[in-house]
Chains A and B, each alone.
Chain A
Amino acid sequence: MRKIKIAFLGIIMMFILTACIGNGDSKATKRSAADGKISISIWHNFAGDDLRARKVRNMIANFEEENPTIEVDEQAIPVDGYRQRISTVAAANELPDIFLTYAGSFTDEFYNGELIQPITSLFEENPEWKNSFLEGALEPYKYDGELYSAPIAMSATSFLYYNKDLFTANNLEVPETWAEFVQVIKVFNDKGITPIAMGNKAPWVAQSTTFGAIADRVTGTNWFLDAVEQEDASFTDPIFIDALHRFKELVDNGAYSDGANSMDNTQAEQYFAQGKAAMMINGAWTLSSLGASQSEQVLTNIGVSVVPGIEGGKGSGNTITGGPGGGFLLSSETKGEDKQAALKLIYKLSNADAQKEIAESNSMVMYDVDIDKENVNPLFFEAFNLIREVEFAPVYDLYLTSEAGEAVNNGLQEIMLGGDPEKVAESIQKAQSSN
């Protein structure tokens, strides 16, 4: 009997021990006190093999070389799983010192959860750097007068890409008005060419790339911002239903292929690049992915424009949905010399040199910088110049609650399957007003 008791005790001890080691481990990765180095952790989604990802990873490696006393514990997480990973560690209160965020509700959640701290001091020390950001670039990261991040990207989500050859071969002009747009769609349909390539399997695509731009042209930006706040505007207003009907009009005219809802965005990009579709409305990310995967010849055959304006709409026709993109946040748990080191790294990754490097890897930035035509692909250069002449309109899911964002995403898929815009509007309104 005694032996049994001892064995039992032993098992319990083992459990306690393993539990302790488990705890100790997670702390140990945070600080390697042995050699007196400062250790900071950084998580980002530049995990791929594209030019920008490699450049950002290089910058971090350089930072470590320049600062031998600082050790950077870097984790590159693929884009698709990034949000989930960060949310999970945030829920467990184990955020890394520095992590990449997206502008909008994602960052709001960290601010509301008091999980991040301002980096305003960095801007005060470098006024020239601060002033070189494009107008509105810092707005999404401003809470109570304090700045929490510096954007290193621009999210422009609604370029109209078109295949130049297909347009000339069919004697068509790039549409500038809604009527022309619908007409062009009809002509391509008659010729058996898919008018617009879209890969809406992950349902944010239709919302982020197409519907946001259409809706802004119909309702104007102010109405949308009011509706987000639920002040004097509601998503069941006739003006918003009209916007949904415009999208339905595209669907009804056969703008999209049957399988658009089961194709993913990358497939749609390839489909368009192969000349099987005449147009594609897609974000700035397409510039990088096409730039990396297509030949110079294919790229020069692609033109970039904006979504056509809508006559009688309240919004400007010369807008692109988008605005400041991701930037790095500083965890509120990071203090003392760790914080100094972390601030240094954030500056390294978003200063003027970094912004130029990023822009020259075919990615848009919110920073006033001149790029060398030789260093970027022709499609990107065209878009980079276009973006300087347009205004920004809000991207829907960056402003709506995540619930209402999902309601828009699913609602647009419903409309593509023949659903009723009025009902979709109701469910969006219900989701937005429930918070």
Chain B
Amino acid sequence: MQSNLKLKGLLVITLLPALLLYSFFVIIPIFWSSYYGFFEWSGLGDATYIGLQNYIDVMQSPVFWRSLKNNLIIVAASVFGQVPIALALALMLRKSNWFQIFVRSAVFLPMVISTVVVGLIWGYIYDPEIGVINTVLRAVGLESWTKAWLADPSVNMYAVAVPIIWNYIGPYLIIFIAAIQNIPSEMEEAAMIDGASGWKKLIYIILPNMWTTIKVAVVLCISGSLKAFDQVFVMTGGGPAESTEILATYMYNNTFLVYRYGYGSAVSTMIILLSLILIGISQVLMKRKNEGMTIR
């Protein structure tokens, strides 16, 4: 009993610094910012209390909903792009010969490049005049396919999503490889003895055993892409005509370009709520799948 109490005390003491830092720099600012959302404030001078008006304006703003839609495109691109590609690569690159190490490093490389540089590189790749894509298309005679990739609203949101996928496959690949390597070899051997190989092994042994890892990856993916900002900001800044606006750029532009700090704060509060909702939904969906699998 005595030692139990001591242990608890120790836990409290050791957790306290992190908890304090976390509340000072994360939790309190979140509430602070949602509190600013109740004010009409230009960032300078006095703030006037306007109740829920900012939040109502956010809900009624068509650009906010467009940003949300665009953001969901990024979320979808990440969840259905990054995770499956990383998973496929992880399955192919389990061993460690020099070729696989090389491919692994190559896939991981974009991760260590600054996201601003990624935005600039892809900005040049997409450049309508000197960009690689249009140059190649022209060279092979597909002149009619050339586009102003970042300026044309019918394609630019997808164009913007590609570098984000490319940028973040690396970490998921590493996580997945670790998860695969953690699967006990007895289990694989047992499966082989039972005659399971190839697809069967993948579906009945490998995937169920790394399901929790995949779940974590999906949550990371969703929360990561909801706060996507840097690449889009560098490539298009949310434009042209707000066609590639995502939630974070919308918040940024309102706060720092139009000087509506209150409104910007209301938007960031909405981003937090939406992230919580989306992650909640994904958890519920994945939980069901998980149960289904174990029953089978």
- Using a CB–CB cutoff of 8 Å, the interface residues on chain A facing chain B are 1, 4, 7-8, 11, 15, 83-84, 87-88, 90-91, 109-110, 112-115, 200-203, 257-263, 271, 276, 402-403, 406, 410-411, 413-414, 416-417, 419
- Using a CB–CB cutoff of 8 Å, the interface residues on chain B facing chain A are 9-10, 13, 16-17, 20, 42-45, 123, 126-129, 147-153, 156, 236-237, 239-243, 253, 256-261
- Contacts A91-B43, A201-B239; A11 near B16 (Cβ below 8 A): yes
- Contacts A15-B20, A109-B45; A259 near B9 (Cβ below 8 A): no
For this complex, 27 residue pairs linking A to B, each with C-beta atoms less than 8 Å apart, are: A4-B13, A8-B16, A11-B16, A87-B43, A88-B43, A90-B44, A91-B44, A91-B261, A109-B42, A109-B259, A110-B44, A114-B45, A202-B237, A257-B128, A258-B128, A258-B148, A259-B148, A259-B150, A259-B151, A261-B151, A262-B148, A262-B150, A263-B129, A406-B257, A410-B241, A413-B240, A417-B241
Which residue from A84, A110, A276, A417 sits with its C-beta under 8 Å from B240?
A: A417
Q: Which residues of A contact B258 (CB under 8 A)?
A: 402-403, 406
Interface of A is mostly: helix
A-B interface, 4 closest residue pairs, ranked by CB to CB distance from nearest: A259-B128, A261-B240, A113-B45, A413-B241
Q: How many A-B residue pairs have CB under 8 A?
A: 106
Q: Which residues of A contact B13 (CB under 8 A)?
A: 4, 7-8
| A417 near B44: Cβ-Cβ < 8 Å | no
| A417 near B259: Cβ-Cβ < 8 Å | no
- In angstroms, Cα B156 to Cα A81, docked, is 26
- In angstroms, Cα B156 to Cα A413, docked, is 14
Q: Which residues of A contact B44 (CB under 8 A)?
A: 87, 90-91, 109-110, 112-113, 115
Q: Which B-chain residue is minimally distant from A260 (CB atoms)?
A: B151
| A262 near B126: Cβ-Cβ < 8 Å | yes
> Closest approach, in angstroms, between the C-beta of B263 and any C-beta of chain A?
10
Q: Which B-chain residue is minimally distant from A108 (CB atoms)?
A: B44
> Closest approach, in angstroms, between the C-beta of B148 and any C-beta of chain A?
4
- In angstroms, Cα B242 to Cα A271, docked, is 25
> Closest approach, in angstroms, between the C-beta of B159 and any C-beta of chain A?
10
| B148 near A261: Cβ-Cβ < 8 Å | yes
Q: Which residues of A contact B148 (CB under 8 A)?
A: 258-259, 261-262
| B256 near A87: Cβ-Cβ < 8 Å | yes
Q: Which residues of A contact B153 (CB under 8 A)?
A: 417
- In angstroms, Cα B127 to Cα A88, docked, is 33
| B16 near A90: Cβ-Cβ < 8 Å | no
> Closest approach, in angstroms, between the C-beta of A433 and any C-beta of chain B?
15
| A413 near B239: Cβ-Cβ < 8 Å | yes
| B242 near A410: Cβ-Cβ < 8 Å | yes
Q: Which residues of A contact B147 (CB under 8 A)?
A: 258
Q: Which residues of B contact A88 (CB under 8 A)?
A: 43
Q: Which A-chain residue is minimally distant from B16 (CB atoms)?
A: A11
Q: Which residues of B contact A419 (CB under 8 A)?
A: 241
Which residue from B123, B239, B240, B260 sits with its C-beta under 8 Å from A403?
A: B260
Q: Which A-chain residue is minimally distant from B156 (CB atoms)?
A: A262
- Contacts A112-B44, A402-B258; A262 near B151 (Cβ below 8 A): yes
- In angstroms, Cα B130 to Cα A276, docked, is 12
- Central interface residue in A201, A202, A257, A271, by most chain B CB within 10 Å: A201
Q: Which residues of B contact A276 (CB under 8 A)?
A: 129
Q: Which residues of A contact B42 (CB under 8 A)?
A: 109
- In angstroms, Cα B44 to Cα A1, docked, is 49
Q: Which A-chain residue is minimally distant from B253 (CB atoms)?
A: A406
| B240 near A1: Cβ-Cβ < 8 Å | no
> Closest approach, in angstroms, between the C-beta of A335 and any C-beta of chain B?
20
- Contacts A8-B13, A109-B45, A414-B241; A262 near B236 (Cβ below 8 A): yes
- Contacts A11-B17, A109-B45, A203-B240; A262 near B256 (Cβ below 8 A): no
- In angstroms, Cα B149 to Cα A8, docked, is 58
- In angstroms, Cα B20 to Cα A7, docked, is 15
Q: Which A-chain residue is minimally distant from B63 (CB atoms)?
A: A410
Q: Which residues of B contact A410 (CB under 8 A)?
A: 239, 241-242
| B257 near A402: Cβ-Cβ < 8 Å | yes
- In angstroms, Cα B147 to Cα A261, docked, is 12
- In angstroms, Cα B240 to Cα A419, docked, is 12
Q: Which residues of B contact A201 (CB under 8 A)?
A: 236-237, 239-240
Q: Which residues of A contact B243 (CB under 8 A)?
A: 417
> Closest approach, in angstroms, between the C-beta of B156 and any C-beta of chain A?
8
> Closest approach, in angstroms, between the C-beta of A3 and any C-beta of chain B?
10
- In angstroms, Cα B45 to Cα A83, docked, is 16
| A257 near B9: Cβ-Cβ < 8 Å | no
- Contacts A4-B13, A201-B237; A262 near B149 (Cβ below 8 A): yes
- In angstroms, Cα B237 to Cα A257, docked, is 19
- In angstroms, Cα B259 to Cα A415, docked, is 25
Q: Which residues of B contact A11 (CB under 8 A)?
A: 16-17, 20
Q: Which residues of A contact B260 (CB under 8 A)?
A: 403
> Closest approach, in angstroms, between the C-beta of B52 and any C-beta of chain A?
17
Q: Which residues of A contact B253 (CB under 8 A)?
A: 406
- In angstroms, Cα B152 to Cα A258, docked, is 8
Q: Which residues of B contact A112 (CB under 8 A)?
A: 44-45
Q: Which residues of B contact A263 (CB under 8 A)?
A: 127-129
Q: Which residues of A contact B257 (CB under 8 A)?
A: 402, 406
- In angstroms, Cα B257 to Cα A64, docked, is 35
